[in-house]
Amino acid sequence: MRRICFIAALILLLCRVAMAEEIKNYTLDISKVNQEASNLHVKCSFSLDFQNKDSVSMNFGGGQEFSIDNLNINSGEFEYELYLESKSIVFRKVSSRKISVNMTYNYTNLSSFFIYGKGDAELWETSFGEYFYPYVPNTFMDVALNVETPDSLSLICSYPLDSDDTMKYSGKFSRILSQSLTLAFIRDEAYQRTDEYIPGKLSIYQIKDMQCGKERYEELLALTEAAIVFFGGIYGEDYISAERKVTALPVFLFHNGEGFSNRYNIGFISASQEKLSTKPDIYPLMHEIGHRWLGEWTLLIDDGQPGAYFIKETLNEFMTLMFIRYVCGNAYYATQLDWCKAEYEKIKGTPQDEPVVNVVTNNNNTVIYRKGPLALIRIAEQIGYGELMSVISGFYKEYAGKYPLKYTDFINMVNESHTGVGDQLNFLLTSQSL
């Protein structure tokens, strides 16, 4: 049976590898000049090789039917159809196996405005279902990116860009994960930037008149340095890694969004300014640093798959608790663990208390960020904290960047290192309540 599963997985992998080679010469020209808030003008071009297929589907579109406007695509040698509900565009072969696609359109991204607040920062992320450029998910591609902004805005990108002046940015990226391109447009007059060396350059953008105090600022620097050292040691891979396309320490971009949303976007971490300035602890930011290794950009499990958010989030939250335990001390760890237990107790036995593996979209924070780590802690208490961290490290080394990935891949790895323990963990994660 395992041989059959391996062969099936290999076939799927080869299909994805082949797909990755179909899209070439990808160029993306983006303009924010003379555009309203949450709007971009985009020119996109690429060559497409159908190979032995009649059609190729790409993610494209957003949460609103009007997200794409004034779409213009050259045609003749191919046909295409835009599916607004499924957020996809399908190219169909007419005669030529190889075609050149040229697209222009305007894109409206209301998710950016509603999530990140009052217009001081606009974040364009595919993670929120805003596919503002067409791509085949979970493939790797080469991209040439050019972005133009008005002189009132600065740009931060998930990958490094060159700029001859303050208004034009460009970069060429080799084999980046197709959905990982993220842009942040920030209003210069609203932000204060500081640069620190911890060592390595760390840039911090805070909203003026909302900046954190000196003590919190120094805590942020100290914890960031400690987290980079801790996680890098655990995973055996420095934060900066050419293989993972991470070329610098993270930029911290703080926003004034109502939802306190924190996000890791490879080149930068976006986080709530209010949370930084007022909350009693900032360990959630260390969670975001941990996503450099464990998260949606490295562990490529599809939304909708069993255990999707155990893989994408629970593992990293457990490792964040381990950072607190080993770096911040047992007393602080005990406090965080007690809070974690108390939060889970609020929903235990209620309809919200669903099995961890059933959370296939990120819509149940208590189950994913509290119940899931508590299950892992039970296993760590049985086999040893260091042992479980070693298994998680091995999982990252083995599966980072590989597609497709399944929840059972992790369970199997635990079983291989500690016979029967993976089955015990699976029982906890598939149970209605702990």
Residue 31 has what DSSP assignment? E
pTM value is 0.93
Place of tokens 């990958």: 159
Best CA proximity match to 102, nearest among 136, 133, 74, 81? 74
Domain edges within the chain: 2-186, 198-282, 308-430
Cβ neighbors of 132 (< 8 A, separation 6 or more) are 40, 42, 62, 107, 109, 124, 126
Give the chain's mean pLDDT: 92
Instruction: Please state, in angstroms and rounded to a whole number, the distance separating the CA atoms of residues 281 and 278.
Output: 9
What tens digit of pLDDT does each residue of 10-53 get? 444 444 444 445 899 999 999 999 999 899 999 999 999 999 99
Predicted pLDDT at 225: 97
| Structure confidence at residue 8 (pLDDT) | 43
Percent of the chain with pLDDT over 70: 94
For residue 287, is pLDDT > 70?
A: yes
Say how far apart CA 387 and CA 90 lie, in whole Å.
47
pLDDT confidence of residue 66? 86
99-150 pLDDT tens trace: 999 999 999 998 887 777 777 899 999 988 999 999 999 999 999 999 999 9
First CA to last CA distance, the chain: 31
Which CATH number is associated with domain 308-430?
Answer: 1.10.390.10
pLDDT digit string, tens, across residues 212-262: 999 999 999 999 999 999 999 999 999 999 999 999 999 999 998 766 678
According to the model, what pLDDT value does residue 21 have?
52
- Tell me 125's DSSP state: -
The CATH number given to 2-186 is 2.60.40.1730
| Burial class of residue 97 (count of CB atoms within 10 Å of its CB; 0-12, 13-18, 19+) | exposed
Phi, psi of 171 (to 5 degrees): -170, 155
Q: Distance of alpha carbon 306 from its chain centroid, rounded?
A: 18
Q: Minimal CA–CA distance to 124: which of 34, 61, 248, 38? A: 38
Q: Is the peptide bond before 373 cis (omega within 30 degrees of 0)?
A: no
pLDDT at residue 195 is higher than 90:
yes
Going by their DSSP bridges, the two strands 191-197 and 251-255 should be labelled as: unpaired
Question: Cβ distance 170 to 198 under 8 Å?
Answer: no
Band (349; pLDDT cuts 50, 70, 90): very high
The pLDDT of residue 18 is 43
In sequence order, what are the residues at sequence separation of 6 or more whose Cβ sits closer than 8 angstroms to the Cβ of residue 63?
110, 111, 128, 129, 130
Rounded to an integer, the average pLDDT of 153-176 is 92
Report whether pLDDT(263) > 80.
yes
Residues making up the chain, counted from first to last: 434
Work out the average pLDDT over 63-76.
90
